[in-house]
Amino acid sequence: MYLNGQMIFHDRHFADHMVSEVPVQIYFGRQHSDIGFIEYYGKEFVKVNNIFYSRRQFTFVSRPGY
């Protein structure tokens, strides 16, 4: 499906991770912000661990097997 460390950014990527319960790691610039499962995604935000992250400000990375 997705490689460990692969950046995700399309709606399809977020949907796949949410349905398959594959964790994502979230970065703000180069700094780690959070890791967890996608609870919700929309055009502007992704919800992980009950926190909404802006898709414009944060980078989302696939972490299968975490």
pLDDT computed for residue 66 by the predictor: 77
Return the SS3 of 1.
coil
Does 56 score more than 90 pLDDT?
A: yes
Q: In what order do the strands lie in the sheet with 45-48?
A: 38-41, 45-48, 51-54
Does 63 score more than 80 pLDDT?
A: yes
CA-to-CA distance for 56 and 2, rounded, in angstroms?
21
* pTM (two decimals): 0.93
CA-to-CA distance for 44 and 7, rounded, in angstroms?
17
